[in-house]
Amino acid sequence: MTDSFADLFLEAMRYEHWLRFYFLEDAEDEPMQASPEREMSVESLDALLVVPAEFAERSHAEEPALAEILDAMQGQKISMEHSRDIIFDWLGEKTGIRPGTDAFEAELNALAGDADFRRRLDCFHGWVQELANNELDLNGNALPPGAPKDEAVPSFAEWNKAFLFWFSMQKPLNALG
């Protein structure tokens, strides 16, 4: 794991997204990813993060520092604000720059103006959306409409590696001129 504020932030955010992508359940205990139509039709969901023991154990072994995020979210109702607070608290612990301080705000403001950071963040969100829409597999292959959805749950390391490989293949568009 790298030490820069931006890299730590992005890795924590990717990890938190992996947790929500595969382990988010609604109050009826049905994985939300299994039914995007139902997810979109419900205005207010009580979503819980429920990571099965085998995945939690593997994550603790493979990425113990990031697994602290899992521990803070496990069994909890999930909201964007709650997830943000957990990531910010984790980031504060790892960098020594506490959320709510001027130094933390300065780091966030610097990230907001950093084109490379924004590109990495935007590409990640695009990649996750393509996975969620079943337009792309973890090997970076485009899927035809109606392709069967892969129900396998990769480890975070596998998921993150798939994103980093896909991202390495993306080339920014050069301005025409």
3-state helix/strand/coil string of 163-176: HHHHHHCCCCCCCC
Strand, helix or coil at 81? helix
Domain that holds residue 139: 5-168
Residue 173 lies in a domain: no
Cα gap 89→100, rounded to integer Å: 10
Q: What is the pLDDT of residues 109-129, one digit of tens each?
A: 999 999 999 999 999 999 999
Grade residue 177 by pLDDT with cuts at 50, 70 and 90.
very low
> What integer pLDDT is reported at residue 47 of this predicted model?
85
Report pLDDT digits (tens) over 33-44.
Answer: 555 555 554 455
Residue 142 has pLDDT above 70, yes or no: yes
Would you say 124 and 10 are in contact if contact means Cβ atoms under 8 Å apart? yes
Residue 177: inside a domain: no
117 within domain boundaries = yes
Of 24-28, 53-57, 101-105, 173-177, the poorest mean pLDDT is in 173-177
Q: How many domains does the chain have?
A: 1
pLDDT of 1-20, one tens digit each? Answer: 457 999 999 999 999 999 99
Q: Flag whether 81 is in a domain.
A: yes
In whole angstroms, give the CA distance from residue 120 to residue 122: 6
Domain assignment present for residue 174? The answer is no
Q: CB-based burial of residue 64 (10 Å sphere; 0-12 exposed, 13-18 middle, 19+ buried)? A: exposed
Residues 109, 157: Cα–Cα separation, whole Å: 29
Question: Could you tell me what percent of the chain has a pLDDT over 70?
Answer: 85
At residue 56, the pLDDT reads 96
Which residue carries 């419900």 as its tokens? 42
Please report whether residue 112 resides in a domain.
Answer: yes
Q: Would you say residue 138 lies in a domain?
A: yes
Query: From residue 82, how far is each of 58, 135, 161 by CA, in Å?
Result: 24, 29, 26
Is the pLDDT confidence value at 102 over 70?
Answer: yes
Let me know if residue 175 belongs to a domain: no
DSSP 104-124: HHHHHHHHHT-HHHHHHHHHH
